[in-house]
Amino acid sequence: MHVLFIILVALIFIVVAIAKFKIHPFIILLLAAVMVGFLIGLEPQEILGTISQGFGNTLSSIGIIIAFGSIIGTFLEKSGGTKKIASTLLRIIGTKKSPLAMNITGMIVSIPVFCDSAFIILSSLNKALSKKTGISLVVFAVALSSGLYVSHVFIPPTPGPLAAAAALEANIGLVILLGIVVAIPTALVGYFWALRCNTPLPSTEDITPDITAESTEELPSLLAVVAPILIPILLIALRSIASYPTAPFGTGTLVDVLVFIGHPIPALFIGILFAVALVDKTTSGQERLGWISTSLQDAGVIILITGAGGALGNILRAAELGNLIETHFSEIQLGLFLPFILAAILKTAQGSSTVAIITTATIIAPLTPSLGLDTEIAKALAVLAIGAGSMTVSHINDSYFWVVSQFSGMTTKTTLNSHTLATFFQGIVAITLLYILQLAFK
């Protein structure tokens, strides 16, 4: 039982070091791995070997994928693709339902673009719509932030769920398909809560009307904009279907092709080709190269944190935590709720959804058999349960909270009453939906 105590101490160490002392998660996760290794009695050389193996195995499976996804997101952002999606949805849904349009826009855009960046990009559009419709900017802020958040925690190639899928050895195609199923109603929960937050704010002077017809005509076509997002997702989903034991597409060359190009690496590389095609011909090659360099720098931080999480996870496997849980706690049927609760505690305590996802996934990975989460469907649901926990809740220690607050002109109290409560309700609804899905697939 002392091993459980060691894990608890390690978790407290991670949370306090990140939240209170502002030490980078990459350093802390590696230090925690070393600390746990010594405390469970591993030899020094064994600790180093286990950490290196866990770090390398994790990066070999998702490092390239995260980098490719980041490049797609950067080109979609720089080309004006995010605004094109928003303006198109506004024309379809109408100005009166514009908060819903922003909610859906957020859900689509945040698949390749980090939610913080996407909110900043679209915040001026929120302000313009608020001025035009007379609807409080708080409504638009929460509708957009909650839409962005669901894809950030549920749908690969966003780094968090991608890392969790790698740690739990879940089928990425299944994670994407089930993630979309859960993300849509969860996003709508945020939208309906946003409608209740019609708090008036002081008028702002920096409103830029980005919804004019002239600006829309200068943007890329909708088909060109959605291609870098939807084509990789479609290819990955087709690969999962083609690889299914019942062989729905039969056998032969077609299946071999689908299995190859549907692997996340080729699929996302194809997405990059479509993303690069979005850029105006007046953009110089040097400028495009700069965009790629910036996106790789952003991806590098996430990749390193993910690798450090993999190192910690490998140490926990060496501790045989799964056997311990199965021996002493087999009668407690927590199932999906354990990853959800653990991710929610980590998220609420230290602020970062990505760190909460990666840390939880590394702890849960060796426990999946004892939790009854070792089938293909169950692993995918476990990844999404971790995602649901990692959005519960976003408050003052979360950088995303301050992006939503500052770019919408909301006070801290207003943001807590609107955005923070939205993430709480979204997390609870999401884990409920996942539990229902688990019962349905039994």
- Is the confidence at residue 421, as pLDDT, over 90? yes
At 17, the amino acid letter reads: A
What's the mean pLDDT in 355-367? 88
pLDDT band at 331 (very low <50, low <70, confident <90, very high): low
pLDDT of amino acid 208? 44
Percentage of the residues of the chain whose pLDDT score is greater than 70: 93
- For 186-196, the pLDDT digits (tens) are 999 999 999 99
219: how many CB neighbours lie within 10 A of its CB?
Answer: 20
Place of tokens 């939610």: 115
DSSP three-state, residue 155: coil
Alpha-carbon torsion, ordered 113, 359, 438, 104, to 10 deg: -20
Q: What is the mean pLDDT of the chain?
A: 87
Least confident of 49-53, 95-99, 248-252: 248-252
Spatial separation of the C-alpha atoms in residues 315 and 49, rounded to whole Å: 10
pLDDT of amino acid 211? 47
**Beta carbons within 8 Å of 22's beta carbon, 6+ residues apart:** none
- Is the confidence at residue 89, as pLDDT, over 70? yes
Q: Is-contact 87 111, C-beta < 8 A?
A: no
- Is the confidence at residue 322, as pLDDT, over 70? no
pLDDT band at 363 (very low <50, low <70, confident <90, very high): confident
What stretches of 134-252 show up as alpha helix (H) in DSSP?
A: 137-154, 159-167, 172-195, 213-217, 222-242
At 204, the amino acid letter reads: T
What's the mean pLDDT in 45-72? 90
- For 145-198, the pLDDT digits (tens) are 999 999 999 998 888 899 999 999 999 999 999 999 999 999 999 999 999 998
pLDDT of amino acid 281? 72
Buried b (16+ CB within 10 A) or exposed e, 255-279: beebeebbbbebbbbbbbebbbebb
What's the mean pLDDT in 239-251? 82
- For 377-405, the pLDDT digits (tens) are 999 999 999 999 999 989 887 889 989 99
Place of tokens 């971790």: 386
Percentage of the residues of the chain whose pLDDT score is greater than 90: 44
Consecutive H or E run containing 99: helix 98-109
pTM exceeding the 0.85 threshold for the entire prediction: no
- For 112-123, the pLDDT digits (tens) are 888 888 898 888
What's the mean pLDDT in 230-235? 91
- Is the confidence at residue 95, as pLDDT, over 90? no
Spatial separation of the C-alpha atoms in residues 318 and 6, rounded to whole Å: 13
What's the mean pLDDT in 3-10? 84
pLDDT band at 214 (very low <50, low <70, confident <90, very high): very low
pLDDT of amino acid 323? 64
pLDDT of amino acid 324? 65
What's the mean pLDDT in 356-374? 88
Please give the residue that has the higher pLDDT: either 349 or 437: 437
What's the mean pLDDT in 29-41? 93
Least confident of 7-21, 47-61, 96-110: 7-21
Highest mean pLDDT among 4-18, 200-214, 273-287, 410-424: 410-424
pLDDT of amino acid 189? 97
- Is the confidence at residue 19, as pLDDT, over 80? no
Q: Omega of the bond prior to 99 within 30 degrees of 0, cis?
A: no
Smallest CA-to-CA distance from 231 within 275, 187, 178, 278 is with 275
Domain boundaries, the chain: 58-299+327-441
pLDDT of amino acid 438? 94
- Is the confidence at residue 326, as pLDDT, over 60? no
What stretches of 351-375 show up as alpha helix (H) in DSSP?
A: 353-364
